[in-house]
Amino acid sequence: MSDSPPGPSRPPASSLGDSIVADWDGSGDELPPPEWGRPRGPRRAATVWLFAVLISAMAAANAWLAGGMEHEAFLAWATVFTAISFQALPFLVFGVALSAALTAFVPASFYRRFIPRNPMAAVPVAGLSGAVLPGCECASVPIAGGLIKRGIAPAAALTFLLAAPAINPVVLVATAVAFPGRPEVWVARLLASLGAAVVVGWIWARLGKTDWLRPPRNSHAPDATKAEVFRDSMVHDLIHAGGFLVVGAIAAATLNVAVPREWVNGVGDLPVVGVLVLAVLAILLSICSEADAFVAASLNAFSPTAQLAFMVVGPMVDLKLIALQAGTFGWGFVRRFVPLTLAAALVFTFLIGGLLL
Partner 1 sequence: MNRIAQGLVLVLLGAAALGTTLASDLYLNYVQGYFRPFLIAAGAVLVVLGVLVIAADLRAAARGADADDAAACGHGHGAEGGPRVAWLLLLPVVSVFVVAPPALGAYTASAQGASSAPDRVDLSEYRDDPFAEAGDGPVELEMREFVSRAWTDEERTMSGKTIELTGFTVPNPEGEGWYLARLEMACCAADAVVNRVLITDEPAPEKDSWWRVRGTWDEPEGDLQEVRDHRFTVEEMEEVENPPDPYE
Positions 78 through 107 that interact with partner 1 (CB under 8 A) = 78-87, 89-90, 92-94, 97
Helices (H), the chain: 6-27, 40-65, 72-105, 108-114, 119-132, 137-149, 154-167, 169-178, 183-207, 226-258, 261-268, 271-285, 292-298, 304-313, 319-329, 331-356
Tell me whether residue 236 or residue 277 sits nearer to partner 1 (CB atom). Answer: 236
Please state the closest distance from residue 274 (CB atom) to partner 1, in A: 16
Tell me whether residue 186 or residue 244 sits nearer to partner 1 (CB atom). Answer: 244
Quick check: 111 binds partner 1 (CB under 8 A)? Answer: no
Cβ distance 23 to 43 under 8 Å?
yes
Quick check: 120 binds partner 1 (CB under 8 A)? Answer: no
Among positions 58, 121, 284, 342, the unique one binding partner 1 when judged by CB under 8 A: 58
Quick check: 2 binds partner 1 (CB under 8 A)? Answer: no
Cβ distance 294 to 174 under 8 Å?
yes
Q: Which stretch binds partner 1 (CB under 8 A): 76-84, 104-112, 115-123, 206-214?
A: 76-84
Task: Give the binding-site size for partner 1 (rule: CB under 8 A).
Answer: 96
Q: What is the three-class DSSP state of 168?
A: coil
Length of the chain: 357
Please state the closest distance from residue 207 (CB atom) to partner 1, in A: 27
Quick check: 4 binds partner 1 (CB under 8 A)? Answer: no
Please state the closest distance from residue 44 (CB atom) to partner 1, in A: 5
Burial-class residue 283 by CB neighbours within 10 Å (0-12, 13-18, 19+). buried
Please state the closest distance from residue 277 (CB atom) to partner 1, in A: 18
Quick check: 72 binds partner 1 (CB under 8 A)? Answer: yes
Among positions 118, 261, 263, 339, the unique one binding partner 1 when judged by CB under 8 A: 261
Please state the closest distance from residue 343 (CB atom) to partner 1, in A: 26
Q: What is the three-class DSSP state of 300?
A: coil
CB neighbourhood size of 77 (10 A): 18
C-alpha closest to that of 319 among 306, 303, 338? 338
Burial-class residue 66 by CB neighbours within 10 Å (0-12, 13-18, 19+). exposed
| Subset of 219-258 contacting partner 1 (CB under 8 A) | 219-221, 224, 228, 231-232, 234-236, 238-240, 242-244, 246-247, 249-250, 252-253, 256-257
| Subset of 273-332 contacting partner 1 (CB under 8 A) | 294-295, 297-298, 300, 323, 327-328
E strand or H helix at 179, and its extent? none
| Subset of 5-44 contacting partner 1 (CB under 8 A) | 5-6, 9-10, 13-14, 17-18, 20-21, 24-26, 28, 34, 37-38, 40-41, 43-44
DSSP-derived letter for residue 223 is: T
